Structure 1
Amino acid sequence: MTDTVSFGYEDVAPAEKTARVGEVFKSVASRYDLMNDAMSGGLHRVWKDVFVRRVKPRGGEHILDMAGGTGDIAFRMAPSGASITVADINPAMLEVGMGRAAKRGIDGLVWTEANAETLQFPYRFFDAYTIAFGIRNVTDIPAALREAHRVLKRGGRFYCLEFSTTLWPGFAEVYDAYSHHLVPKLGKALAGDADSYKYLVESIRRFPDMARFEAMIAEAGFVRTSVEPMLGGLVAIHSGWKI
């Protein structure tokens, strides 16, 4: 890993990014749906539904949902009968998720605090690894991808849902103006927190484009990598297989 990493538009020491990202998500944990609505215009629910359909969770499988603390992806996969471990580096996010699960009567999920870069799980343990809107906040993304590969069984599948860069002419400029100018204001008005929303917008701009991120997944050891863009690449589902 380099001496500095991006925290929004700033370049900071890796340890500083980890700490500051932790504070961002501690701040927004109780307003997670509000945050995602502001970032996506409410479309995150549709994208997550599509994402889980691509994962195709099945009964008897062991699935790791990384950076899934509030449970959005795990709740959608739970009816499949798969054994799902929800992991997140942020205890505040996990607390929100466990509370939501209790209110919805969703039992059987395993909740655990974990760092995507240094997972505590054994080699070749999971059938699938999912991460939705979390990879861009990881300090050392290549390390997290290598860990995802390590904990997957042979034949295991990797799925990542993340904001990217739309290639539609005109729409890119409209979304850029919306996200940079309106999202922080919405964060201030609705959640009293403009700075966290400002970081989240900037983190999208600093995240690798679809082709580069797909290459990073391949560099971690995955094969048959693919990318499914939505809204021209504003959001993309990346996937790969371990053989």
Structure 2
Amino acid sequence: MSTSGSDVPSSTEVVYSEATRDDVDQMVELNMDVEWDVSVEKRCLYEDARDRKHEAAIRTAFASPMRELLIHSLSIEHSIFVKAVQGGRLVGYLDAVDVADDLLTMQLRPIEDHPRGPHPGAILEKPVTELDSIDCYIIRNWAKNQALQTEHGNIGYEMMKSRRDSAPFYQVHMLAVASDKQRQGIGRGLLDYFQELVGESNMCLFAQRHNMGFYEKVGFQLLDSKEAKSGAEILFFWRPGKNT
């Protein structure tokens, strides 16, 4: 699907298609931009790790495992990735997974006491090109509150289980649009293209309240909301399939 009938897309036309491993690097960069700018709570960073002066180091530290996760997710049979490309640039992507019954019968992850790693000190001052895998691991242990991340995941999982008796549905893990391309219909375009691929299947996702207006405009219904210990509010949205 594209925004015009031309066989050769123009520089302003947005073209939607399924993403591949060749798109991973651009998806990582786009994901990090969105996560840092509007969703710090989702990444469960400790407050002092959110300081802008640490941004480059923390983005680099989280990029490596994110890249591995995306590559793994692209190989999962029931996972679907779609992308929006404009002028050769990836300006948005969506990834979702078919929620099977065996997933909904899994136990919640135990919330354990994860000791925070020591302050990275001089590692944070290194040029990002000099950060190796050990440096990145140390930064992540210092920056991310693993217990809060687990709690957020458990809250979302409990809300998703409430739809176990529904018709087959997909969980949208990420819907990301480049900051300079927002409010141009790209998010809606990604969702519409994805709906074409999955037919009548329902969708669910988790988001923050400032995104509520957008998701309601594109057909999602707010089903539930809960507050985590971090103070972050987790909203559960549901979008019925075409004929449900």
Report TM bin, short chain.
0.3 to 0.5
Say which one has the larger Rg: 2
With the length of structure 2 as denominator, give the TM-score of the two structures: 0.33
- Greater share of helix residues, 1 or 2? 1
